[in-house]
Every structure is written in C-alpha cells, then in structure tokens.
Amino acid sequence: DTGVSQDPRHKITKRGQNVTFRCDPISEHNRLYWYRQTLGQGPEFLTYFQNEAQLEKSRLLSDRFSAERPKGSFSTLEIQRTEQGDSAMYLCASSLPPYNEQFFGPGTRLTVL
C-alpha cells in the first residue's frame, strides 16, 4: 500500500502525559500537512512542511505542540502535557505540486483521560 500511513491509530493517555504521533506520506510527495478533527467538525489545519522546512503553523498549535520532519520524509507530531481538550483525531496529508489535492492518512485518534 503506497498511501499515507499514520501510527498509532489509537492512543489513550492520561492528562499531563506526552504523546508522539508519526506520519509517513506518499513517498514522492514533498508537502506534508497536519490537521485536527473534533467531533462534528471538519478537519482544521495545524501546520505544514515543504520537504524538511516547517513553513506555517496555525494559531491552534499551542506551545505544547511541536512537529518535525527531519529528513523531509516522515513527520512526527508531539503534544506535551496533554489536556482533555486535546482529544481529537489527528490527520496527516501529503501532496505534490501544484498542491491542489491532498491525500489523507487514516488518522490517529487521541483520547486524553
């Protein structure tokens, strides 16, 4: 399967713990996006990378969130000191020029107890 993959698919953690998610984009896609989706809403943009450079971060991405894409391939999203409000589906997408269409992974569902 050559689609976008995300790991883990589900994560349950206690408030205050740190969590890290991984995204592997489609191999030749140089842009990688992170989105967050809460119940009853559409996905909301968090941040994106072009190759290894993080070019934009949403105001939704608080200081507790950090994302990396060290070699321009896979990306990680870390949430420190998780809060119950962080419970959501975290989606990763990748794209090729002209970047109009993004292809999404299955998401990581985070539950913070």
* Interaction site with other proteins (CB under 8 A): 4, 6, 31, 33, 35, 40-45, 48, 55-56, 91, 93, 95, 98-107, 109
Do residues 91 and 78 lie in contact, with contact meaning Cβ atoms separated by under 8 Å?
A: no
Q: Closest CB to other proteins among 17 and 111?
A: 111
Residue 81 CB, nearest distance to other proteins (Å)?
26
Q: Quick one: CA dihedral 83, 34, 19, 58, positive or negative?
A: negative
Least CB distance to other proteins at residue 22 (A): 15
Across 1-113, the runs of DSSP E, i.e. the strands, are: 5-7, 10-13, 19-24, 31-37, 44-50, 53-57, 65-68, 75-79, 88-95, 103-104, 108-112
CB of 20 to other proteins, least distance (A): 19
CB nearer to other proteins: give 50 or 80. 50
Of 55 and 113, the one with the shorter C-beta distance to other proteins is: 55
